[in-house]
Structure 1
């Protein structure tokens, strides 16, 4: 972390990088860290030493993020590498995601909580299938901001024509895949053009550098405009209650607020039971609170003794979501074996895990044509629409409106491995079946 002192108004930006293999993601992240003076001296010394051992004239900045031994040996990014740095205006949590197709699952992980995704493309190669896949993932996950860095602009002689051509292609692909807003920046991660400082080599570009753009992106949302969603993670009964009469009747419900605001005295409903009660108090390790909001982790005490367990959800009484066992969803399939109708899985929705069966695989997204292709399976890295039947009801809400309670994971019941990232509702709303498919099949 940089030692820069942040002003009280500074905000945190969760950032993920993505792109095709060898597009320069790790080098870009290293350049951001290096040029923003967020690299410690001993880290830089180690990178320079490894670079010299490889016969390089200068420091290979990609080594600042490729931390695993296998990554250093192969020269590729395998796992998501998290880095933390700050400027005078903003703090950043950065996830450097892999570019290889077989590691798309890691990109989904890195982008799932991101406020912004920086997607790199090689100015010489243009948009590739993996580029479109990452655009689709960013759209499906409703990442608020997508920035496309047209990298290696120095290798096309800083051509304004080539940049304009790629920017138009990027805008067209983004519109096809439902990306609401996109920014483009011409950069050279290796040289440093337009990464932290604006470059004199691109006089035809009058926009901000990449870092300037990231510092200015708006983040956050008005939590007071949302209604309470509080998945219960654990029921607290102090172990010393029997020896401490003051706590003998203590019962609290701990978890992280997914959405909204809660205050003592608020009327709430416990799902799935539907029981109504009032919030008596909000407890934390530092003492009680008069108000708590997402994403704080707190313990709620209620005025009534209700049977509540892990996986239940406490919601605002004036906005109670419907419970459902039939879920239409979009899946980013991450399993090695294909998904088929009739398959039994586990679904983890907030803190609740339920058994489920795949009733139907409706189709998968064709990334090139940006439409949904009918099919009965989802293969590794496919994105598609499915219908699930859950063994017990959950308050699953549309992901487009509720990013936390509209998301879920599909888990293999045999070994506990994550098979898919799921989004409730028609996340593929921009995609259509080709030809004369019946209207009820269109998403």
Structure 2
């Protein structure tokens, strides 16, 4: 498969028809979503596909280029949009029956940036309900009995299977990094506030991060350039990377067992050279508790009226989160916000000598579909608002596993570090015929 940079260059030169790129993605969607046979079940990655609109956008782009007009940095790139981002004239359902009649008057700011870069908005991808913890209908692209992760479930699965070249996701705890790891793609969680949340159904104002997902870090860097105009650093020189472990008593790798892919993870590390080890000077469990407090209170504030009017419309997991938020005293919320500020400063000091810290992207390969996975390796960085890049590193029993890079540097520098790691790790995502029936 050609890289996004190659496709854009060819489209801009008039050497490739953007309509052909769109049609190739639509063909994959037709094969894996609509015409899937019993032995290759639907991935259920899409809520709605804008086939006619996408073809029309591609035709308009082709005609403009033929007349000598300029084409943007994402010219002809079909992109999926997680169904919590507004797309003008289309519903933003957020996997909730409460929003069936919602119709967006204008694009979310991030979607508008994609259009301005001449990306093709291909449709809406599946999210967990209100981007929280309830399992989605989407299947893992590699084993149907496994989760694709959440909440950016459809975005990760669609990118992994070539149904789109990139997709928008969002992360409050681990909703970009973990689905990317489970599906074998790359994901960028930018620094908090770098991309606008205007036109995005919120979970938590202090914790929500919109960000892109793509098949490779190289593709991810190109999408980031299209969104921001920021060119990523080159991957020519060896970056300063340290392996992050826990606080001594609570090792950050303690969730990785031989059955959970620990051997595959450790086998990857020598490809990156001899990494020094640093310890997180904070109890991970305390960070997770304070993160959950902020998330619960802010989710409850947004959903309170609807929830109190009709709680049956909410999934079990988000209902539990809202109940926790409604029962949290104001002083506990204030304490959690104060902890967040202190914790962010602690991490910045820890990160100052390094280009990035490396951790597992998840606690193992994708678990069964009854769960969206464990965010313990992701929530600490969402809490701090620091940028992260997740990228696949190897396979374990037919499922991809990934690593995560955390940095206090600009996203462009972090992407340069991730590009260097991607080349060293040598992971390749094969073509998929859809999920198998294996569940273990």
TM-score, structure 1 normalization: 0.29
Q: Greater share of strand residues, 1 or 2?
A: 1
**Counting helix residues as a fraction of each chain, which structure ranks higher?**
2
Query: If the length of structure 2 is used for normalisation, what is the TM-score?
Result: 0.29
* Larger Rg over CA atoms: 1
